[in-house]
């Protein structure tokens, strides 16, 4: 595996690969890798000849007062994990090269970026789409893989690629969970042992919602109330939002249809966790 830290070198590598007709797959990450990230790497491996994993804690997607500085970074361990997965390139650009002091340009998917995570994190998705388009232009992959863990981000990236006619295929990969249902996330490391136990409440409440739908409850307000009851039954959580949406357009629904998505954000102590799940209603 090669570790590339300069944009020019990454471009040269990609140019050579493309000249050899290799299909390049890209997996963008913030690092501090876990099995969720590695599942994306495996998916990229299945469909590409060469795999590039980028590691970059992107400052433009963190708001003021958020955890940019304390975000966990463990490069040596990350590189070992990627080496084990037979990744071809770990691309680790510097902040200075990605965002020189006079940096000015941003890309935003307007409407999709405003709701849900976008309303508590203004500017977050603008930062995500900006760094993703930069990475796509630098690495020039044929395919890029994103996790369903960040469902709103996935929909936004797909829309950006469609709207800007970027000739790259966006693939998605399912959420990898701990045994007790907590979605794997680099931020889980902020949880103390008691909070960690309570953190399963996101998954538990979504599973309960599915059970209730199976029993015939399809009214979203009623389902949300039941979910909030479960969440507030535990000690540390504070619900930021729970929404039931159309999977492609992220439009809110009032009644659960054949296939919708629950999106949610809950604060456990000082840690903000997000999760989502497909929810299936009755076939009419």
Catalytic positions, written as ranges: 37
Q: Is 184 in the site for ligand AMP (CB under 6 A)?
A: yes
Nearest CA to 106 among 118, 123, 91, 94?
123
How far is the C-alpha of 151 from the C-alpha of 278, rounded, in Å? 10
Q: Is 127 in the site for ligand AMP (CB under 6 A)?
A: no
Shortest reach from residue 278's CB to ligand AMP, in Å: 14
Quick one: which H or E segment has residue 227?
A: helix 220-232
Q: Is 40 in the site for ligand AMP (CB under 6 A)?
A: yes
Residue from 78, 150, 243, 275 binding ligand AMP (CB under 6 A):
150
Shortest reach from residue 52's CB to ligand AMP, in Å: 13
Q: Is 146 in the site for ligand AMP (CB under 6 A)?
A: yes
Residue 45 CA from chain centroid, whole number: 19
Shortest reach from residue 30's CB to ligand AMP, in Å: 4
Helix (H, G, I), strand (E, B) or coil at 55: strand
Quick one: which H or E segment has residue 9?
A: helix 7-19
Q: Is 129 in the site for ligand AMP (CB under 6 A)?
A: no
Quick one: which H or E segment has residue 24?
A: strand 24-29
Answer for the pair 22, 16: CB distance below 8 angstroms, yes or no.
no
How far is the C-alpha of 40 from the C-alpha of 157, rounded, in Å? 16
Residue 216 CA from chain centroid, whole number: 31
Shortest reach from residue 88's CB to ligand AMP, in Å: 18
Residue from 113, 186, 205, 260 binding ligand AMP (CB under 6 A):
186
Site string for ligand AMP, 9-38 (x = CB under 6 A): --------------------xx-----xx-
Shortest reach from residue 114's CB to ligand AMP, in Å: 20
Binding part of the chain for ligand AMP, among 66-74, 177-185, 209-217, 272-280 by CB under 6 A, reads 177-185
CA distances (Å), origin 63, targets 39, 109, 128, 212 = 28, 18, 12, 37
Q: Which residues bind ligand AMP (CB under 6 A)?
A: 29-30, 36-37, 39-40, 146-147, 149-150, 173, 175-176, 183-186
């Amino acid at each position: 595996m090669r570790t590339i830290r300069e944009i020019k070198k990454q471009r040269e590598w990609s140019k050579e690969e493309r000249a050899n007709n290799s299909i390049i797959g890209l997996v963008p990450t913030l690092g501090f890798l876990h099995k969720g990230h590695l599942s994306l790497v495996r998916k990229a491996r299945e469909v590409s000849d060469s795999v590039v994993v980028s590691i970059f804690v992107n400052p433009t997607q963190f708001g003021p007062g958020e955890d940019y500085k304390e975000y966990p970074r463990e490069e040596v361990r990350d590189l070992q994990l990627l080496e084990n997965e037979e990744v071809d390139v770990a691309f680790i650009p510097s902040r200075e090269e990605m965002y020189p002091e006079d940096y000015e340009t941003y890309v935003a998917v307007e409407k999709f970026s405003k709701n849900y995570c976008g309303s508590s994190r203004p500017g977050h998705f603008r930062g995500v789409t900006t760094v993703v388009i930069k990475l796509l232009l630098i690495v020039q992959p044929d395919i890029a893989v994103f996790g369903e863990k960040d469902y709103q981000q996935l929909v936004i990236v797909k829309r950006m690629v469609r709207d800007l006619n970027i000739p790259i295929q966006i693939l998605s990969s399912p959420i990898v969970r701990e045994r007790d249902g907590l979605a794997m996330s680099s931020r889980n490391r902020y949880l103390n042992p008691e909070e960690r136990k309570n953190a399963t409440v996101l998954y538990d409440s979504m599973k309960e919602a599915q059970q209730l739908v199976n029993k015939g409850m399809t009214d979203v307000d009623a389902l949300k109330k039941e979910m909030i009851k479960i969440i507030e039954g535990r000690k540390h959580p504070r619900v930021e939002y729970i929404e039931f949406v159309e999977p492609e357009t992220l439009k809110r629904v009032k009644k659960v249809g054949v296939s919708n998505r629950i999106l949610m954000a809950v604060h456990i102590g000082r840690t903000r966790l997000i999760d989502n799940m497909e929810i299936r209603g009755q076939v009419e």
